[in-house]
Structure 1
Amino acid sequence: MAHRYKVREIAQQSGLSEATVDRVLHNRPGVRENTVAEVNQAIADLDKQRAQLRLNGRRYLIDVVMQTPRRFSDAFRAAVEAELPAFAPAMLRARFHLWESGSTAQMVEALGRIRGSHGVVLKAQDDPAVAEAVDRLVDSGVPVVTYTTDVPSSARCGYVGIDNHGAGVTAAYLVQQWLGEAPADVLITLSRTVFRGEGEREVGFRSALRNCGRTIVEVSDSDGIDATNERLVLDALAANPGVQAVYSVGGGNVATVAAFEKIGRDCKVFIAHDLDADNRRLLRDGRISAVLHNDLRADARLALRLILQERGALPVEPVRPVPIQVVTPYNLPVHP
């Protein structure tokens, strides 16, 4: 069977004889496992070297387009900028198009203005107009990777982020464990229902708490902005005196904590997402219980890699789900 490298190349790389390499490639009997491992490692090394040659001297301009609270976009921007040098000898630069609240039309317009890009990392509404804008970019030769929330009907080349449904189920498990037999209701806060990732978290959370006897009270359309979120949460708490727990899907946690404190109500458990500066401080101070987090630098690295793979600059590697980390005040990472 033909191989992408000549037997002679693999033999030189591995230090084995050509006859031994040939036996491994053709799955012939009588070859030791460590010999097979040596050949596979040699092939992996050749792949890396080929990728380095393809990357050498190349310049790529990546656009990051996100509608999200500033505390999250600041954290992800820092993660992207920290990962750009890791793709040397290629030179990657990033442009950032970031805003906190806006319409679908604003997102479509922003995508339509992109010129000279080699790829887009996108956090956007799951809307047909957005999907069409993504398709237009892809048709023009610009690969798009969706981040944290997907637009699956589009021609995007991949999605990077946690299993959002699984995150919601995890949050429900933690809430139940903390509340125990206490007859408390739960507040769930979302930034906007148009983000698919948030909807998947909510569905997972509700499904896991079904038949538990707790009322789930929803607050949405705050865009994760503290001032708006505090007003909405205060109204929800006033109307629902049994609420004593929170699952924050969309952020604005400083405001949610402030709302509980303002009316003097105890919050027995508070589950949030992402280790931004606000959540780190709230977690250290014991004002929230746990944060469901994933490594933003690993996310940035994977998103950039998917774009370079799509452009043929790197070998294709399988995309693995991003693991969810349950962070408490006692295992808070030193660095973001």
Structure 2
Amino acid sequence: MRHPYRIREIAAQAGLSQATVDRVLHGRGGVRESTVRQVRQAIAALDRKHAEDPVPSRLFPIDLVVHDRSRVEAALRAESGGLRPAVIRPRFHSAGDPLAALARVARSRSQGVILQAAETPDVVEAVGRLGIPVVTLGADLPASKRVAHVGLDEHEAGATAAYLIEQWLADRAGTVLVVIADEVARGGTAAGQSDLVAASVGVGASLRARLAGFRAELRVRAPHRRVLVAAPGMVRRELAACPSVRAVYDPGSGGAAAVVEAFAELRRNYDVYVASELDDVSAELLRAGKLSAVLHHDLRADVRLACLAVLQGLGALPGPPRSAPASVQVITPLNIPAA
């Protein structure tokens, strides 16, 4: 018997115990046919109630502890209309210090949290103390009391980039240039050794997970492949010093156009360029044949699903909150989505 409601909602509507409703819903024996009819009628009544009387228009103060406020805020603004009549009143906190952010949330009158944070015992404990619905976005906290997880597996995204690059390069020799927008980008070394590890220090959790996934997959597929790490402004210098660069991976530097320009100015070619995050610039570079593929996922959909899960956790929407992991989309010149 499929339904979107909690057992206690159905029990209250039917005037039965939760145990009896549970037996009916799961088809266990020892229940009278009249009781089964009561449960069916209760579900039908709840359907009518929600159709006639949707979520009351009210504000839900929800805290968002995130790394990239501008992108998440833009996604929430774009999706807010689809959440009506519920209205989300967002309060943003930097995920740089999640414990401090969660401590502020605990002192507020927050009704829910959307959280980006690495899994540590302290963070898991802090989530458990809140007593309100917490939905993890991106990185998950499976050991915590979060009610759902939504978002891209960043480690998977990095591994996918390594797979695509090796598919394009096949058995050909060549160095991979990894472009990151960070001051620690320096020098070059064998895949999986100190350079990519050093580049991961001090960056956001999402980028760190992408680099870890890329490093791990490349180590398996091409353990001797050399990797060079550079910020967009350092690309010309690194290309001049390393004539063997044949591939580029950009996990989200925002400098793809500058990298393409650097190759052109030095009259250098590359066999494959895999970038991240589809936007107007990367879409145009794809159409022009300057990028091989862009790894993309729908952040707006993630934010919408996270908000819905919080509302379900509050009982403001029917049904229990459910996790919604997202898979990375490989965008090529042939399947660029319409704007």
AA matched with 1:181:
D
Q: 1:174 corresponds to which residue? A: 164
Aligned residue pair count: 296
Q: 1:17 corresponds to which residue? A: none
From 272, 279, 297, the counterpart of 1:294: 297
AA matched with 2:57:
G
TM value normalised by structure 1:
0.69
AA matched with 2:76:
V
Instruction: Indicate yes or no: 2:251 matched with 1:249.
Output: yes
Question: Residues 199-249 of structure 1: CA distance to partner in whole angstroms, max 9, x if unpaired?
Answer: 3333332333335265242537xxxxxxxx322333443443212211212
Q: Percent identity between the aligned chains?
A: 39
Provide closer, same or farther for how the CA distance between residues 116 and 86 of structure 1 changes in structure 2, counting only shifts above 3 A. same
Q: CA deviation at 1:90?
A: 1.8
Contact 1:137/1:143 (8 A) holds in 2: no
Q: 1:232 corresponds to which residue? A: 234
Local SS of the residue matching 1:234: helix
Provide closer, same or farther for how the CA distance between residues 151 and 188 of structure 1 changes in structure 2, counting only shifts above 3 A. farther
Local SS of the residue matching 1:55: coil
Q: 1:14 corresponds to which residue? A: none
What residue ranges of structure 2 are gaps of 5+ in the alignment? 1-5, 15-22, 30-35, 183-199
Q: CA deviation at 1:85?
A: 2.4
Q: 2:225 corresponds to which residue? A: 215
AA matched with 1:189:
V
Question: Residues 143-190 of structure 1: CA distance to partner in whole angstroms, max 9, x if unpaired?
Answer: 443433456777655442222232222222211222233312212234
From 315, 322, 328, the counterpart of 2:326: 322
Q: CA RMSD in A?
A: 4.3
Contact 2:310/2:321 (8 A) holds in 1: no
AA matched with 1:26:
G
Provide closer, same or farther for how the CA distance between residues 200 and 67 of structure 1 changes in structure 2, counting only shifts above 3 A. closer
Contact 1:171/1:271 (8 A) holds in 2: yes
Q: 1:91 corresponds to which residue? A: 87
AA matched with 2:155:
H
Q: Distance in 2 between matches of 1:258 and 1:95?
A: 39
Provide closer, same or farther for how the CA distance between residues 233 and 143 of structure 1 changes in structure 2, counting only shifts above 3 A. farther
Q: 1:139 corresponds to which residue? A: 129
Local SS of the residue matching 1:181: coil
AA matched with 1:324:
V
Local SS of the residue matching 1:249: coil
Provide closer, same or farther for how the CA distance between residues 138 and 268 of structure 1 changes in structure 2, counting only shifts above 3 A. same
Q: Distance in 2 between matches of 1:331 and 1:59?
A: 39
Structure 1, 308-317 or 154-163: larger mean CA deviation: 154-163
TM value normalised by structure 2:
0.68
Q: Distance in 2 between matches of 1:48 and 1:188?
A: 55
Question: Residues 229-288 of structure 1: CA distance to partner in whole angstroms, max 9, x if unpaired?
Answer: 322333443443212211212322233323323333212211122223332232233221
Question: Residues 61-101 of structure 1: CA distance to partner in whole angstroms, max 9, x if unpaired?
Answer: 23444433xxxx55543321222222223222334567xxx
Contact 1:217/1:236 (8 A) holds in 2: no
What residue ranges of structure 1 are gaps of 5+ in the alignment? 10-21, 29-35, 221-228
Q: CA deviation at 1:133?
A: 7.2
Q: 1:189 corresponds to which residue? A: 179
* Higher relative contact order (Cα pairs below 8 Å, separated by 6+ residues): 2
